[in-house]
Chains A and B, each alone.
Chain A
């Protein structure tokens, strides 16, 4: 099951760390970092159903595959 309720102990802290991790990177380097981050977290999750649900929720609403 994909968790969509709050699951971070200190959400503000976690968010600030995410933004700070990009400090000093160019936009292109930031996108590349985001891609690596998604791959690392995907592997950690490891569950195909959970990932499918996450991909569905993240895809723009107006642009959902039929």
Chain B
């Protein structure tokens, strides 16, 4: 039997029998993804759109109940935009820019994320995770009707996994009994507890920071502003920190940090939760409890995300504290990084060693997230009396002195990793701006028509700014299209891409990261950079 481990917010892929279950010999698929959460769905969508047939296995039948990951970053939205899923996310999501930071009941300062102009998408939207998953699933259905082969099998639970030289064998439980399946490549997106990681006997190490968060989603009509409010040592005495955030549908998310030694069952008593919420909101505020949960985190990661033909992504590969919204957002960057590489390997254009760069680049991303998340955790919950002394000194000074404000760390909000030092990176040019150097995500910019990121192709792009290059080009089996722009009269474009150079040629990867750049087109240099970017060097 396949038990339903949790309730659903949306049923998206109800169990159905498939011919594979009756096959005499196990059917082999190019790619099997385990887990239908945000990372599994995004990876399936990316691969499907690239022409790779994908089977997704999930032990439930849709998006689980509960808001969970709610803060989706600009980079996540850009990835979803490339996949055709961002529009409804931005439409339903709550856009916020202002944050306030309190110590006890004292407002220390407020900040404004005020995104610089010339970006199609906002810095952040708040959206309940089930909606995020539903919109990805809607985009999958749309891609399917356009011919993408993406099959999602609900209530299919992987019970055994056996890696072999040229495939991975799976045993799967269903409501109609077990069956076997083979995958040329297996992608594990099965969450923080990753049963696959356990079945393969792989370690999940790290500095163990453990804490419990009580998440209370409350529905209220009270007129709170659309801002992020963060408290150090809140005056309502709930613990080390608390966070108030707005979600769609009149729901407010409150995160109370409770500490490690708690009685989970007692803390989840509705009366106890209401007492905490009452203390926070003050008297006379009417609300309903919509959803509550206790969330435990650790900061840790797998040593490697690639194990032969098994690739780990999202929470299965790495976990961080919630400060900074680096969980789901980093998982989406995993999906973004893996899709094009696996597609090139499957079509025989790139050697399978290209997948080692997935491991290297995303381990680098995970390290950066764990470092930031660890520092925020140390600041919010100081580990020694002297650490607390300094922390409170910073908070004391932050009201008046700007330098102390930048030391206040309630979580550094998720930004995409820049793959400095990646072996896929080609030449840089010293006169061009650091923000768009090889390894970085292309900064968006407004064009005379539309947006820069939306003008990039699904494959490699040759972006030229006031420089010549062929309209199309092929190198090492990779076809590239040119995007020809001029920075004349477009100052943001000049600032983001040209700097001191008069013209520029950028080689851009399918995941919108810069691979290499020059001040003029040189065919043999571009061919060499393509070879490098697909792991052929």
Contact = CB atoms under 8 A, between A and B. Distances in A.
B201 interface: no
A-B pairs with lowest CB-CB distance, top 7: A30-B386, A6-B406, A4-B401, A11-B406, A22-B386, A5-B402, A6-B403
Contact of B403 (A7, A25, A30, A31): A7
B408 to A, nearest CB: 10
B106 to A, nearest CB: 12
Given A12-B375, A12-B412, A22 B384 contact: yes
A19 to B, nearest CB: 5
A16 interface: yes
Given A3-B403, A11-B407, A12-B409, A22 B387 contact: yes
Interface residues of B, number: 21
B406 A19 contact: no
B401 A57 contact: yes
Contacts of B384: 22, 30
7 contacts: A6-B402, A6-B403, A15-B409, A19-B378, A31-B386, A57-B397, A57-B400
B402 A19 contact: no
Contacts of A63: none
B156 interface: no
A64 to B, nearest CB: 13
A11 B394 CA distance: 12
Contacts of B397: 57
Interface string B370-396: 001001001100101111001000100
B372 A12 contact: yes
B262 to A, nearest CB: 26
Q: Chain B contact residues: over half helix, strand or loop, or mixed?
A: helix
B359 to A, nearest CB: 26
**What range describes how many residues of A lie at the interface?**
10 to 19
A11 B401 CA distance: 14
Interface string A46-63: 000000000001000000
B385 A27 contact: yes
B109 to A, nearest CB: 13
A45 interface: no
A33 B169 CA distance: 59
Interface in A5-51: 5-8, 11-12, 15-16, 18-19, 22, 25, 27, 30-31, 34
Contacts of B390: 15, 18-19
A8 B394 CA distance: 14
A16 B375 contact: yes
Interface of B: 372, 375, 378-379, 382, 384-387, 390, 394, 397, 400-403, 405-407, 409, 412
Contacts of A5: 402-403
Nearest to A23: B384
Given A7-B403, A15-B390, A57-B401, 18 more contacts: A4-B402, A4-B403, A5-B403, A6-B403, A6-B406, A8-B406, A11-B403, A11-B406, A15-B379, A15-B394, A15-B407, A19-B382, A19-B390, A22-B384, A22-B386, A27-B385, A30-B384, A57-B400
A11 B379 CA distance: 13
Interface of A: 3-8, 11-12, 15-16, 18-19, 22, 25, 27, 30-31, 34, 57
Contacts of A8: 403, 406
Nearest to A31: B386
Nearest to A27: B385
A46 to B, nearest CB: 20
Contacts of B402: 4-6
A35 to B, nearest CB: 12
Contacts of A15: 375, 379, 390, 394, 407, 409
A6 B397 CA distance: 13
Contact of A19 (B372, B387, B405): B387
Contacts of B405: 6
A42 B401 CA distance: 19
Contacts of A3: 403
A34 B405 CA distance: 21
A27 B407 contact: no
B292 to A, nearest CB: 32
Nearest to A22: B386
Nearest to A5: B402
A12 B378 CA distance: 11
A15 B401 CA distance: 16
A12 B373 CA distance: 11
A18 to B, nearest CB: 7
A59 B375 CA distance: 27
B400 to A, nearest CB: 8
Contacts of B394: 15
B107 to A, nearest CB: 16
Contacts of A11: 403, 406-407
Contacts of B407: 11-12, 15
Nearest to B394: A15
A27 B386 contact: yes
A5 B406 CA distance: 9
Contacts of A34: 386
A15 B390 CA distance: 9
A29 to B, nearest CB: 9
A18 B389 CA distance: 12
A15 B386 CA distance: 13
Contacts of A22: 384, 386-387
B6 to A, nearest CB: 36
